[in-house]
């Protein structure tokens, strides 16, 4: 079955799914508007990648058929200080920092801190996370949504 897939990266991705190497499928729920077309870059609930059982994030790139430009996929990801993964989709949807980190780790000109947080910053973020009442990510029927993205549990 896999030998019929011509793209070697896609063939490897599907092979890994079949072997149960992935724990979660990642979806972009908030597609941003393409300024050129004034339409969303992609539809809602677009699958954009996977998370392995070891926590590695794997991108599944979707390109515009005419231009070859990326429309969806995990451009980058980060383990946030609230215990969740943050993502940036090629469409521009962004959750790299948790709401509790924003304003502590960056300024308006530098959306990501270039250096590790200080002890004071860590305490401030921890207090914000605790005040927010965030607990462990809750999956309902294998599905969890947060900050414009969703994770779907992959069961073997």
User: Going by C-beta distance under 8 Å and a sequence separation of 6 or more, which residues neighbour residue 75?
Assistant: 59, 88, 89, 90
Question: Is residue 53 very low, low, confident or very high in pLDDT (cuts 50, 70, 90)?
Answer: confident
Question: What are the domain boundaries of the chain?
Answer: 2-98+135-153
Between 53 and 9, residue with greater pLDDT: 53
Which pair of structure tokens corresponds to residue 85?
Answer: 């993964």
11 or 77, higher pLDDT: 77
Average of pLDDT values for 2-28?
A: 77
Q: Any idea which residue has 């451009």 for tokens?
A: 75
Band of pLDDT at residue 1, cut at 50, 70 and 90: low
Q: What is the rounded average pLDDT of the residues 19-33?
A: 90
Burial of 19 (0-12, 13-18, 19+ CB in 10 A): exposed
């Amino acid at each position: 079955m896999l030998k019929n897939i011509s793209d070697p990266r896609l063939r490897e991705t599907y092979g890994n799914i079949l072997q149960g190497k992935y724990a979660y499928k990642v979806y972009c729920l908030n597609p941003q508007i393409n300024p050129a077309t004034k339409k969303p870059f992609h539809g809602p609930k677009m699958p954009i990648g996977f998370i392995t059982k070891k926590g590695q994030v794997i991108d599944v790139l979707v390109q515009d058929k005419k231009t070859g430009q990326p429309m969806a996929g995990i451009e980058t990801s980060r383990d946030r200080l609230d215990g969740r993964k943050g993502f940036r989709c090629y469409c521009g949807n962004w959750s790299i920092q948790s709401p509790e980190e924003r304003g502590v780790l960056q300024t308006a000109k530098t959306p990501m801190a270039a250096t590790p947080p200080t002890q004071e910053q860590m305490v401030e973020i921890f207090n914000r996370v605790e005040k927010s009442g965030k607990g462990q990510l809750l999956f309902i029927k294998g599905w969890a949504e947060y900050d414009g993205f969703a994770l779907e549990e992959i069961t073997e």
